[in-house]
Amino acid sequence: MRDVSETILAQYAASPRLRMILDGFNQSIDPQNIIDQWYQRVFSLETASGWGLDVWGRIVGIARVIPVAKTEYLGFEEADDRSGTARPMNDGVFYRGTAVTSGFALTDDAYRQLIMAKAAANLCSGSIADINAILMTLFGAYGDIWVEETSATTMTICYSWDLTPAQSTIIVTSKALPRPSGLRLTYRYVAP
């Protein structure tokens, strides 16, 4: 504590034994250091790590391990959306009617970005302007990203850079970004 004498009742302030015990305890345990570490590792989303980010994830309702569908099926070049999942005709497996899924554990930086996306989605009105603002805040440093309404029932997220696996997971499969009800969400790479 900064000033232990402020925590002692006036009637015990002159007690040398109590002062000696409290001063010794105050010197051996500095709660300010613990409070600073807790703030940095848990409370502040910008600097939180590990368990602290897991707490934030539970608060906003998104897990660190995201199920990712393995879509490395045989296909053509025009099916490539730059998410790293398309395979040429001589490399891949045949589609069996059901997608095989696996878990993708996000790193602290990617998970922080996903938590921010989910927190913004929780507060978003669902308008295209709000969704564009969220996408530009999260991914604007990598290139152009925007939402366009491609039909009355379809909304498309367009991006102009090759997605990293973490970005692909956040944009394509995490379901953390807001989506207006009644609309199908698609994704498309647009050459810059």
Tens of pLDDT, residues 109-154: 888 888 888 888 888 887 888 888 888 888 888 888 888 877 778 8
Are 23 and 94 contacting, i.e. CB atoms less than 8 angstroms apart?
no
Listed in sequence order, the residues at least 6 apart from 149 whose beta carbon sits closer than 8 Å to its beta carbon are 128, 155, 156
**Would you say residue 72 has pLDDT above 70?**
no
Instruction: Kindly state the greatest CA–CA separation across the chain.
Output: 86
Six token digits for residue 162: 């090759």
**Would you say residue 55 has pLDDT above 80?**
yes
**Would you say residue 162 has pLDDT above 70?**
yes
Chain-centre distance of CA 102, in angstroms? 19
Mean pLDDT (the chain) is: 77
User: What distances in angstroms separate CA 77 from CA 57, 64, 130, 160, one per listed residue?
Assistant: 37, 32, 33, 17
More reliable by pLDDT, 28 or 39: 39
Torsion sign across C-alpha atoms 98, 185, 145, 174: negative
**Residues present in the chain in total:** 192
Pairwise CA distance, residues 181 & 192, whole Å: 30
The pairing of strands 100-105 and 145-151 is unpaired
| Terminal CA-CA length for the chain | 57
In the chain, what are the domain boundaries? 4-38, 65-189
More reliable by pLDDT, 89 or 179: 179
- For the sheet with 184-189, list strands across it: 145-151, 154-159, 184-189
